[in-house]
Structures are given as structure tokens and as C-alpha cells.
Structure 1
């Protein structure tokens, strides 16, 4: 039986998780996959063989990215587009469109479209829930008024307690703040606490994850849009305007495109923003807090973080240590989470078994406090007694990275060996740096705060 290469090709294209729309030189659709149909809110048969104006009547030769490429023969990349389909539904996409040639002759254009209609609508609905207008000013809505405070941070670790003490002092400043630490250590809880202890506590706290959106959409959400900045765009304020007088929290800052980081730096310097596509500047009064789950110096070396932005944000910086480096917190956090889920799940768990506690202490907790919380939540849902035992652990826990005790193996655990090696290396660096913290941190290529934490951790002073 002869292989249907057209059918195979169509099956492959339909399996791609992005909308693909191809037109011929006249503007008639010659290919349209199922993802594109779902994104555009139409059926494939309503589009294939028809001119794009028939199906998307609000488009024009100037606003259609496909027709623009037919006209110019040039590829366009990551261009936002807003239009209505034949049923009157508004669609928001970000498109990459390129010309199709056969034997150097232009025969059409193909477009790869990412649909952000639902995502953008969700972001806008979230903002509406987060904020209300009061006397012409933006205020935190009652439904979103519960933010974390420093009293919600549970720790007995001396270094972490010192970071909290310093953060409480920094709360009354308007200087930007940078918080870094592994995923799950509680960075947003920490910055919310700073906001709540500040004189901005009755003003908005708005958070945005920089890794969740493409550059063009993140730009418009952060800084707003002006009418005509792209097809279908309307005058709309961004998060900076909505957070005016309050705090904006940018999570995973290192995921923000470098060009947008440059724009953020200008905002920090000038205290002004400019909506996408507008020449008009708007004065703002917003405190910027940012977080990263990698060390800033690593981010700069990897080209993910602009050095000039880092040095501007690093006025006040805080390192939150991972849970595996503050073992005593495992015990007190476990108790706190048991109390919390006893209330929310209507349970009466009294404690964790001694064997389970030992296993918890020997576990590396790659997901940090978040993983501990979810582990205890799982166990309490299925526990059959008033005490949590090892048998109640989720199945995935046993696949985690446990440290091995000396009783089970003659070699020391790798984590212990690495810590001893790190301790010796820091000792040598301190000697070479004449015990000057700044000089030693520079020799080691780590921030001063990280070095100070490790010195306290290893009780080297």
C-alpha cells in the first residue's frame, strides 16, 4: 500500500501544540491545524479554502500578519495580534509568520500562533479581584487583603532570623529589594511580609511571574498598552500603574528577557513608565521587589541577568537558605503544618513518629518548605491513626534524594562530604582574604550575604 506522505505530514503538524495557519498568495487558507481552530474558536472546515477576511472580518491588509508577510516577503517574529472571529469572539495571539517559497517564488505564508486569550483574560480577572477603585485611587480589595506577615515565617535558624530582622528594618525604606533562594523556600511569603510591615501596607501588592509570559505580552501587562500599539490594542494600564503607591513583586526575574530588563532599569532610575506604543511618560510611585531561584552571580555569568539591573536591585538583598541547611526548622515546621491541616482537614493528628522524624531529617528536601507542607498534607489525608508513620509517606517520597547514615555505609554521605570540603575551602579563602568578608566573597565569587551565612552555618567565627 502506498504511503500517504500528505496524511503523515498532516498528522505530525496536528500533533504540534501550537496553532499553524498557512495561506496562498491570494490570502486563501491552504492549511489550518486543530490547535489553530481551537485557539481561534472556529472549526477547521470554516477556515480551509476561504479567504482570511471571510473568517476574521476585523483583520485588514495592514493588520493581518499573514497578509503583511505576503506583501513584504519578510519574516516577522513574536508580534501580538488581537482580532475577532466570524462568531464575534475576540482572540489574542502572539504570532511568528514567515513566507513560503518554491524555486525562489513566493507562494504563500505560514503562521505559528500562540494563543494567550485565556491567559490574558485570567490575568485581567485576577487584577480586578486584587484591586478596586476608591476615590479615583487603586486600593487592595477586601477579598485579597490577607497577605503574609513576618509572624507567619517559622524558623529557629539564626541566619534566617537575622535576615528577618534586617528585612523588618528595610520595610520602611523605598529602596528596591532582591530576594534569592531555591524554589519553595518562601520568597513570596518573605516579600509580602516586607510589604505588610511597610508604610505601603494599605496599598496594592501585585505579583507577576516573569517566566510565565512571552516578552511582548509581559511588556504590555507590566507597562500597559496604548491604542494602536498592535492590532486591536486599546488604552490599558499595566501592573506598574495599578500598583501605584504600593509594591510590585517580580518573581523569577532572571526569566525576564534582557531587553525588558533594560526597560525595568529605566523605570527604577526615572520613576516613570511608558505604555507599549506610547511616547507619553507616566509618573509612578512603586516599590519594586524581585526574586530569583538562582544565585544572582550565576544569573549574570549565564547571561540571564543584566549586571546593571542587578547592581540597582542589590541595594537591599536577602538570601533565604534551603530547608536542608536548617534541619531544626523541619521539626517546628512539621508541627506547624500538622496544626494547620488538623484545622483545615478536620483531623486530630498529634505528632510524627520518631522514625519518620529521623527520615525527615535525613532527607534533602529538594522542594524545600513547599515540599514538606505538601508531604504532610498528603499523609494527613490518608493517615489511619493520630500519629504519622513512615508508611503514610507518599509513594514519590521514597524516590527522593536521601542522605545515607554512617550505620548503613562506611563512606560518609555525599552531602556531608561536600559540606566538609566547602568548609575547608572557605577557611583557605578567609586566610587568603585576610578574614575580610568582602575580599573573601570576591575571591570565592559569591555574594557577601552568602558567605556570611556559610560562616555562621559552619560556626567559623
Structure 2
């Protein structure tokens, strides 16, 4: 009696856990009869357990048969089927696309059934396919416009002139981008999130000979593996249940540029197919035997160091070498602070036009904060900070109080000038307090210029002799690490 009671409790716990899981779970016995159907499956397919349990699988799903049912296939082969895509139609007429994995069930080495774990990707699939269809229509319209000698780029709007920056790193990168724009070789672009990778790729595309051809971008982290493959490669009718004849992005980008963002998030198996496209210049739609030629330039972006992605097995080493024919790196904003003033001017003009307000500039305290902040979100974060300010300000000057709360808290009044309030209160007089602030300010400037006095004087906008005089008075010398 105690054993039976314990068994019932354990069964109740097990079923409660399965019902709490977000993924739909269906279990059948060796005869194909459903013996378990959890709550997530009910929500996903619109069927009640009473309509399913005790009935044969094929009587529940008219769209399935012995050849295309993964559960029946697993019963036959005794091998799992992992991460596949399928469109189902229930006996109530509800249609949906699922991403599923199916496994055999054994007890003491004997097959006793199979179970299926699936999640609904209908909405994602529909949205992705609508986007692909829209891109295809845009490309068709663009070709028609081009044939009527009217040139208008629907897909990419940025040029190298839109890349804002005065740092040597950005100037050098723009020169390199202009040089490689006319090459058909693949590009691997590395930059942290928010550095403007897609803007650079669009600019390269528009600079080159194929600027009037399609520009197509796909984030590889945004879709499940099998759906991503069908979006990139395309499908033929009958390749899987519910599939249709549909071109993929490789075809839509014909003659232009295909951007694969976050390539390190693409499944390794799919990476091998991209490698083949790069090496052989051809591909097959899913379920097709016909080889199609891929004549688009592939540009891949990653927000982590590509060598680290290879080391962590997120990027195939052979694909890395094939993509890395041309390697570009966008440094983070914290490594090129001299780009902040022109970026600020650019964004306040752009945002001022968008919000129909006149903005004269930003106060010095804001620029001090900007110059001392690390900008983990890079250029995008800077733009959003300024947009926040424009939404809350009432005058024509952006002030510190208009900045997002996290930024003003990060730089409170106590440390905004590089010295804490207690240390100022410890001094005897105003001249001593000003001397402390000036020493910190000059020391920071020297450090940023690697203790090069000429460059530091230029940055501080004071004569070189004046800076040397102040350094002597403040007992600062270039032995800290630089040259006069």
C-alpha cells in the first residue's frame, strides 16, 4: 500500500513538472496511440487532452502519414530526430509550424514508445517569410526602376560620408573600407554591440560597383536553426510538411551584398553550408537537387573577437579563415573619445530635425561626463542618451540633469571633476582646491596622450610652454611614461 501510494505521488509530481514546461510534449506507445499530452501542447494546438489521449496519432493530425510523422519514424528507426521544422494541421483545422525533437522511449532495453518535444514558431516563421517576400518585391521594384534609368536604393542608405569620426582609427578604417568596396572578396567585420557595424557594411556596399544591387541583412541570432537555414537557402514544395517554393536570401541578394550579422550565433552545421557557398559559389534550396549559383558578396559580422569565437567553438575555424580574407575592426567608443564631440554634434542636429527643436549644444559638464564614461553600448548608447535629453529638456542647451538617471548617478557631483568632495573639504583654501582639480585634469589629459606634451597641449587648447610651466608647478613630469 505504501509503495503504491509513493508511486502515485511520484507520478503526480512527474506530470505536474511536464505540465509546467513551456514546450509541448506528446508521448505515444508502440502502436502510435497517444498516452500523454501536456498543457503546453493544448495551448499550442488547440486540442484538449480528451480529444488526443487514447487515439492514434494519424487520426488527430490529418496532415501526417507514416512517412512524414517524426514520432512514427522514430518508432520504426529507434533513432532520435533533433531540431526539425514541420507544419501541422489538426483535425479541427488549426494550422501551425513547430520546431521539434523526437526521441525513442526504452525500458530495460525494450522500445515502449516515443515522445516529441516541440515549440510553436508559426509567428516567427510567418514574419520571417513576409520579410523575405517583401525584400524580394523591393528588389524587383528596384530592378524595374533601374531599367527606367531611375536609381533609388531601397535597401541601404548609408555611405562612407555618414561615418562620423575624427580619430585616426576611424579615418584609417574609412580609407580601408573605400579600398575594399570594389573587391568581391568576403569580409569579416568585428566590433562590439553598438559600434555601427551594419552602417559600415551598408557604406561599403554603396561605395562599390554593386551599390545599385540588393543589400540584404540577416541577424543569425534571431531565428531557430532550421528556420534560419530555410530563410537563407530557400525551400521547395514538399521539402518538409507545409513547405512551399520560396527563394532564400542568397537568391534575393543576387549580385549585391548579403550581411550575416552575429555569424558566431549561427549553428555550426549551417556554418558548413555557408562555407560551401563561399568556396564553390553554389547552394541548394532545402529539399532540392538543383544547384543554384550564389553571386552575392557575403559580409559577416561578429560582436566578439573572432579568434575567441573559434576558441569557444562558436565559429568554425575553416569558415573563419574563408571569411577573414578581408578583416575589419571597429574600435569601441571608449578607445576613441576624440570622436565624441563630432558624434554629439551630428546626433543633436539629426535629432533636432526629427523632433523639430532647435538645439544649440551641450554644456561643458555633459561633455566632461561623456569623456569620462566607458560607453559599454558605444555609439548607439550615446545617441540614446542624447535622444533622452531632447525628450525631457525645455531649453536649447542639453544639461547634465537632462541625461538618463543611470548616467548622472554614475557621475555624481562628488566626482564629476575627478576629485571627491571630501578631498576638497580637506584643503585649506580655494586656490588649493582649484590646484587639486587642475592637477587631476592635466594628469588625465597627459595619460590619454601617452604623456606626450605636444599632443596634450593641443587637446587642452593651451600653448605647449604653458602646459610645461603648469607641469613644473604641479610637479608632473614625463617620467610617468611619455616624451616631450
TM-score of the two chains, using structure 1 as the length reference? 0.81
Match of 1:329 among 333, 339, 354: 339
SS in 2 for 1:131: helix
Q: Report the equivalent of 2:17.
A: 12
Given that residues 139 and 202 in structure 1 are in contact (C-alpha distance below 8 angstroms), is that contact kept between their aligned partners in structure 2? no
1:170-189 mapped onto 2 (5 Å cutoff): 170-189=180-199
Q: Report the equivalent of 1:407.
A: 419
Given that residues 369 and 411 in structure 2 are in contact (C-alpha distance below 8 angstroms), is that contact kept between their aligned partners in structure 1? no
1:149-160 mapped onto 2 (5 Å cutoff): 149-160=159-170
Given that residues 185 and 326 in structure 2 are in contact (C-alpha distance below 8 angstroms), is that contact kept between their aligned partners in structure 1? yes
Q: Report the equivalent of 2:34.
A: 29
* 1:344 aligns to 2:338 (yes or no): no
Q: CA deviation at 1:98?
A: 1.2
Instruction: Considering fraction of residues, name the structure with more helix.
Output: 2
CA 1:14–1:389: 2 relative to 1, 3 Å: farther
Paired residues, number? 422
CA 1:388–1:406: 2 relative to 1, 3 Å: closer
SS in 1 for 2:247: coil
CA 1:199–1:327: 2 relative to 1, 3 Å: same
Q: Report the equivalent of 1:448.
A: none
Q: Report the equivalent of 1:93.
A: 98
SS in 2 for 1:180: strand
Match of 1:65 among 50, 61, 70: 70
Q: CA deviation at 1:166?
A: 1.4
Match of 1:313 among 306, 310, 323: 323
Cα-to-partner distance string for 1:233-269 (whole Å, 9 max, x where unaligned): 3333211111111110001111222232222122112
Q: Report the equivalent of 1:163.
A: 173
5+ residue gaps, structure 2, are: 1-5, 424-435, 452-480
Cα-to-partner distance string for 1:269-318 (whole Å, 9 max, x where unaligned): 21111222333211221111111111222222222222322222222221
Given that residues 203 and 245 in structure 1 are in contact (C-alpha distance below 8 angstroms), is that contact kept between their aligned partners in structure 2? yes
Q: CA deviation at 1:341?
A: 2.2
CA distance in 1, matches of 2:85, 2:23: 15
CA 1:15–1:152: 2 relative to 1, 3 Å: farther
SS in 1 for 2:192: coil
TM-score of the two chains, using structure 2 as the length reference? 0.77
Match of 1:148 among 135, 158, 162: 158
CA distance in 1, matches of 2:47, 2:165: 54
Q: CA deviation at 1:9?
A: 4.0
Match of 1:117 among 119, 122, 130: 122
Q: CA deviation at 1:209?
A: 1.2
Given that residues 171 and 195 in structure 1 are in contact (C-alpha distance below 8 angstroms), is that contact kept between their aligned partners in structure 2? yes
Structure 1 window deviating more from structure 2 (56-65 vs 143-152): it is 143-152
Q: Report the equivalent of 1:127.
A: 132
Cα-to-partner distance string for 1:348-392 (whole Å, 9 max, x where unaligned): 333222212211111111011111112222222222333322222
Q: Report the equivalent of 2:259.
A: 249
CA distance in 2, matches of 1:395, 1:11: 44
Q: CA deviation at 1:104?
A: 4.1
Q: CA deviation at 1:5?
A: 5.3
5+ residue gaps, structure 1, are: 425-457
1:59-458 mapped onto 2 (5 Å cutoff): 59-132=64-137, 134=140, 144-397=154-407, 406-408=418-420
Q: Report the equivalent of 2:432.
A: none
Structure 1 window deviating more from structure 2 (50-59 vs 292-301): it is 50-59
Q: Report the equivalent of 1:56.
A: 61
Q: CA deviation at 1:137?
A: 6.8
CA distance in 2, matches of 1:253, 1:176: 13
CA 1:7–1:222: 2 relative to 1, 3 Å: same
Q: CA deviation at 1:32?
A: 2.8
CA distance in 1, matches of 2:230, 2:174: 34
Cα-to-partner distance string for 1:100-149 (whole Å, 9 max, x where unaligned): 33444433322111322211211111122223264997999979445222
Please say which structure displays the higher CA radius of gyration.
2
Q: CA deviation at 1:188?
A: 0.4
SS in 1 for 2:244: coil
Q: CA deviation at 1:10?
A: 4.1
Given that residues 139 and 204 in structure 1 are in contact (C-alpha distance below 8 angstroms), is that contact kept between their aligned partners in structure 2? no
CA 1:185–1:270: 2 relative to 1, 3 Å: same
